[in-house]
A and B are shown apart, each in its own frame.
Chain A
Amino acid sequence: MSATTQHILAAAAVFISLLYLVLRGRRKKDCGSGCNCGTKKPQVK
């Protein structure tokens, strides 16, 4: 493998890692009340 190929592969790996961490941080569900609890709360009709 040439030095350039290695360089590109390494850069790609670093990029994917960064992307993974960023996307992971964003993937989150919550109840919509802004409380981040993951559950629904009792509501009035």
Chain B
Amino acid sequence: MAEAPQIFRRIAIAGNPNTGKSTIFNALTGMRQKVGNYPGVTVEKKTGRFFGSHGETMELLDLPGSYSLQVRSPDEAVSRDVLLGRVPDTPRPDAIIAVLDASNLDRHLYLVAQFLELDIPVIVALNMVDVAEQRGLTIDLLALKNSLGVPVIPMVASRGQGLIELKQALSRATLHVSECKAQLPIVLEREVSALSRILKCHAGSVRSEAMLLLSIEDERLAAEVNGNPSLLTEIHAARERLKLSGLDPIAAPVDARYAWVSEVCASVIHRRGEDSHGLTFTDHVDQILTHKLWGWLAFVTMMALMFVCIFVVAKWPMDWIDGAKDWLANLVRSHMADGDFRSLVVDGVIGGVGNVVIFLPQILILFFFLGLLEDSGYMARAAFIMDRMMSRVGLHGKSFVPLLSSFACAIPGIMATRTIENRNDRFVTILVAPLMSCSARLPVYAIMIALLMPASSVWAKAGVMLCMYLLGVAAAFVMAGLFKKTILRSETPMLLLELPPYRAPVVRGIVQRMWERAVVFLRRAGTVILALSVILWALLNYPKPATPNPTRADVLAHSAAGRFGHAIEPVIAPLGYDWKIGIGLVASFAAREVFVSTMGQIYNIEDAKADNEDLRSRMRDERRADGTPIFTPLTCLSIMVFFVLAMQCLSTVAIVRRETNSWRWPLFQIAYMNALAWVAAFIVYQGGHLLGFR
């Protein structure tokens, strides 16, 4: 391996959301990127390398977008912690590139004011100067540079303008810490200095740390200084002194920074023409997209289009993956003698991993659309439109996207909850996300509907399918409301949502993110999911029956999972299931659609798929001991309802464990969802019986 090059400078790139940070990051680093995770939290860490003007190696760290160092979400916390040098294996950066939207300096300079408090050299990348120009704003670059005391590089990152200048600025032999800062009221300055003196700092700026601690809301303070009562008393005393002298500890620093921002803006921005009262492009678009009637129409159309793409377009690559899976399995079968290991490779590894990887096309298409909606600025409008509905159950407009994504797969849905600021709201969303019918349930619904109503029209079948989806949505809303009132009680989450200007999305950036997603997903499939599949395979195959040459059905019945299926028969009998269905339920913990292939194995059908006529007729003929059919319409309905509500996906359990950082929540989720599923299936089956249905 080549020797690691000496890193000349570590630079963090930071700024508000939607400023083009990632575009600059991608333009500078190209393909030399590494995506990982920060230890202990589930925020993605993106680093990349590039070469400075004289060939020196620079390391660039893409920080999550944030509005302030006074953090409100896990993403923002990472940005702050990196800049303060608090993250264990991430050294404090040597410089910050602050990316600003030139057309909205009034707001974006606020974060710069905080960066200047950090005592790290700052370089301002003034992005989207073209948009500012179009809006009739002229920015006096020299005056801006002088008032900030840092280099200012005008850029149009989406077209690569200003990149060379930015590189040059970053390559300078020395970068200076700016002397310019927002002036604090004297009383506050005194308290900040006093607190700075008693703080022990890791590597970061003590002053900035002290300011953050002084001006945090009481609700958050305890978590910030946990395990440190003396510091807590110290801060409370300082705040009392501030209040006595008539200063609001929360408002004072904000007011001071904004006063400074206004002063800077007044001297550097020159407006041409009327005072920006003309309607912008965004205003015109929003008149339609947030309109009482057209807004809904546009929203429904976009969501429908997205789902048509997910289910129709993804079908081809999914068929290819399925074909590749079968081809590989057959290849192994033809080259290896029959035995345990072959079974493990074919059923456990190829089947297990393949059944998860097959969802990759859907996940990628979903991420492509979410990327388009996010980058164009529409996502914020969707949250704006949906917020009223979501707030009825105490959720946030931002919970809408994760729930929507969960229709494709709960995994990206749960990952998308990271933008929700409040922990309790985020956890409620995570808890109910798997109730949305993901695409793995489709094959199960398909075969059950085929058994339920073989002669009905396509429309009637689609209607039943839609009812299942609606049942999931209704359950998610009811449970969310319930959790908000009980275990995850919190103040109704505040909606504080920026509606950014519409912009043409950079498709290259979106594709790059899809690629990263794919890598992360495949890595998981190749590690955790592989291991889980192997273990599940063992449970489905051992112990072996003593009889020579047992059939697949015998092996299944005799295995640990089979015995478990038998053991739970008394529990599931009231739902109308026998032990064979029980085995199918146990096996579907690998991935729900495995239910179909497991039923195939139980009934000794080769190559069982939902559209397999052999399997359907075999299931239709299946009888109980008393000669009545097992798969009556009522049983089929009961099974479907069970699948709508039950938590049966190991991959989701694993991701919930990771996102909530504890086993408590995934276990609780399994318990409540399966209890809910059981009760609902019980009501369907027994209630149906009472009403005279069979």
Contact = CB atoms under 8 A, between A and B. Distances in A.
Contact present between A and B (CB < 8 A): yes
A21 B537 CA distance: 15
A41 B534 CA distance: 40
Contacts of B38: 38
B681 to A, nearest CB: 31
Interface residues of B, number: 45
Contacts of A29: 39-40, 88-89
Contacts of A3: 337, 339-340
Interface in B200-240: 200-202, 209, 213, 224-228, 230-231, 234
B228 A44 contact: yes
A13 B339 CA distance: 14
B540 to A, nearest CB: 12
Interface in A1-45: 1-3, 5-7, 9-10, 13-14, 17-18, 20-21, 24, 28-31, 33-45
B297 interface: no
B88 A37 contact: no
Nearest to B344: A10
B40 A37 contact: yes
B86 interface: yes
B202 A44 contact: no
Contacts, number: 117
A1 B199 contact: no
B453 interface: no
A34 B227 CA distance: 9
B531 to A, nearest CB: 4
Nearest to B40: A38
A29 to B, nearest CB: 4
A4 B88 CA distance: 48
Interface string B640-675: 000000000000000000000110000000000000
Given A10-B344, A21-B531, A40 B226 contact: no
Given A13-B534, A42-B224, A44-B234, A37 B340 contact: no
Contacts of A9: 340-341, 344
Contact of A42 (B41, B213, B342): B213
Contact of B538 (A14, A41, A43, A44): A14
B231 A42 contact: yes
B300 interface: no
B349 to A, nearest CB: 8
Interface of B: 38-41, 77, 81, 86-89, 198-202, 209, 213, 224-228, 230-231, 234, 336-337, 339-344, 348, 527-528, 530-532, 534-535, 537-538, 661-662
19 contacts: A1-B337, A9-B344, A10-B344, A13-B534, A14-B535, A14-B537, A18-B535, A21-B531, A24-B528, A29-B89, A31-B88, A38-B38, A39-B77, A40-B87, A41-B225, A41-B228, A42-B209, A42-B231, A44-B234
